[in-house]
Amino acid sequence: MLNREAVRRILKSALREDLGPGDITTESILTGEELGRAQAVAKGEMIVAGLPVFGEAFGLLDEKINIAEFCKDGDRLRPQYILAECRGRLGAILSAERVALNLLQRLSGIATLTGRFVEATAGTGVRILDTRKTIPGLRILDKYAVRVGGGFNHRFGLADGILIKENHIAAAGGIAQAITRVRRSAHHLLKIEIETANLTEVKEALAAGADVIMLDNMSLAEMKEAVALVAGRVPLEASGNVTLANVRRIAECGVDMISVGALTHSAPAADISLLVTTG
């Protein structure tokens, strides 16, 4: 579920950015009293995500605008499917259109791409994870869309868990030193995940007591060796250069999780149009 107040804060900021002191085009053409409707139409196949955000954008400009949804987040849609319809003052509909559509297209694009990765690894037992490679300020929405698409969330922020990456290792002077320092300061409920780049580092991470090991940018052969070496003692997360073309082969190496930054940093926006009629 999305936190409505958090969504409204994001939308208010976006509307302020887009509207500035006013929508001079719409205000020049309309008196402000004209009524009409607008339909959001899918132009391609997609998993829809962000319908509550879409409707909220219009409601913030005019609470009397009526929003009818003809599907729900997570539905798979075909081209020409009508997602939702807005009825009310045309001025408010036109002024909120870009913000509402931008977010609906982005979130549906993320959900759709996530769904493709989930489908590509079906039957392997692997979880598809997102990363923190999100648009600043939109993380709550981006990660929501990943869940809608069937994926799972990694950390929301730096306070959500311990993930020791290569720069942390370099700063600490090594894998063992990094884990020792974290163990000394972190409370007993926190698990420690550490990034490794080769089998030597995997062995070091195991010996130092890592709870989760990330296999970063390893070849398929290296990942298979790492899986055999770890032998189920700790969960393994594969990361780096994951694509739809190779994700199945990565999953079949026997890892538990695959994190994919592309879910949120490179998902193509879903093709959705808002078509307005008067009266």
165 is a catalytic site residue: yes
203 is a catalytic site residue: no
216 is a catalytic site residue: yes
Q: How confident is the model at residue 1 (pLDDT cuts 50, 70, 90)?
A: confident
Q: Please tell me which residue in 193, 195, 237, 256 is annotated as part of the active site.
A: 195
pLDDT of 53 higher than 90: yes
Percent of the chain with pLDDT strictly greater than 70:
100
Q: Where are the alpha helices (DSSP H) in 30-186?
A: 51-61, 90-120, 139-148, 166-172, 175-185
Q: Please tell me which residue in 116, 133, 155, 181 is annotated as part of the active site.
A: 133
Between CA 247 and CA 260 the distance in angstroms is: 9
Residue in the block written with tokens 């879409």: 54
- Cα dihedral 91→93→99→103 (10° resolution): 180
Q: Is the pTM of this model over 0.75?
A: yes
The pLDDT score that the predictor gives to residue 71 is: 98
Q: Please tell me which residue in 8, 116, 165, 248 is annotated as part of the active site.
A: 165
CB 220 within 8 A of CB 89: no
In tens, the pLDDT along 226-268 reads 999 999 999 999 999 999 999 999 999 999 999 999 999 999 9
116 is a catalytic site residue: no
The pLDDT score that the predictor gives to residue 146 is: 98
pLDDT of 160 higher than 80: yes
In tens, the pLDDT along 55-89 reads 999 999 999 999 999 999 999 999 999 999 999 99
Q: Which amino acid is at 202?
A: V
The pLDDT score that the predictor gives to residue 279 is: 59
Give mean pLDDT, residues 112-124. 98
In tens, the pLDDT along 196-228 reads 999 999 999 999 999 999 999 999 999 999 999
64 is a catalytic site residue: no
Question: What mean pLDDT value characterizes the chain?
Answer: 97
Between CA 249 and CA 95 the distance in angstroms is: 47
